[in-house]
Structure 1
């Protein structure tokens, strides 16, 4: 039961649209700091998910986060007309960048999961 509750909590934390928030901060404040924060937070969530329960929250959480980012990118383009398509994220469109960044943030998460698996095996011994 404890693993299920922890898994649900991790999925809920993953529901934050990390990629959208990072892109928005980059566009609005010209700050790349949120990309680093996104990598750290998602890697920590992947580590905790693997160490405390299993890989299911990692999979579901990343899918939900990407979908939420797509949703907010679409709303930003439709309602505000900020001009994200004006070429700020050249050579990609904002939607393409969501896909690319969502795939790229999986790399440090896989390393964090490998690290958690190693720590988990050491604790069992």
Structure 2
């Protein structure tokens, strides 16, 4: 039961449109801090998700985050001029690219969580 609740919580936290917020921070403030925050938060979510649950909520959460970011980016391209800012890419191409590259630190977080879980199992058995 605990794993299910934690899995649902992880999916809900992943529903934050991380890529959209990062791109909006970049566009509005000309700052890359949004991308760094996205990497840190999603890596922590991946670590704790794998540590206390399994990988299924992480997969679902990443897909939902991309879909929700896509929705907000489509709203912003209608209301503001994002099209020319992220040249040579369109905002949608940047969404896909950033979402893909954001999976890399999450993958390392998953590996770290697996290593941590295995280390704790050996210490408990001693």
The two structures have a TM-score, normalised by structure 2, of: 0.95
5+ long unaligned stretches in structure 2: none
Deviation at 1:77, TM superposition (A): 1.5
Corresponding position of 1:111? 108
For residues 79-109 of structure 1, the C-alpha deviation after alignment (integer angstroms, 9 at most, x for no partner) is: x1x1111x21011000000000000000000
Deviation at 1:25, TM superposition (A): 0.6
Corresponding position of 1:17? 17
* Inter-partner Cα distance in structure 2 for 1:34 and 1:100: 15
How many residue pairs get matched? 122
Corresponding position of 1:59? 59
Corresponding position of 2:47? 47
SS at match of 1:105: helix
The two structures have a TM-score, normalised by structure 1, of: 0.96
Deviation at 1:76, TM superposition (A): 1.0
Corresponding position of 2:77? 77
5+ long unaligned stretches in structure 1: none
Runs of 4+ in 1 over 6 A off after TM superposition: none
Deviation at 1:52, TM superposition (A): 0.5
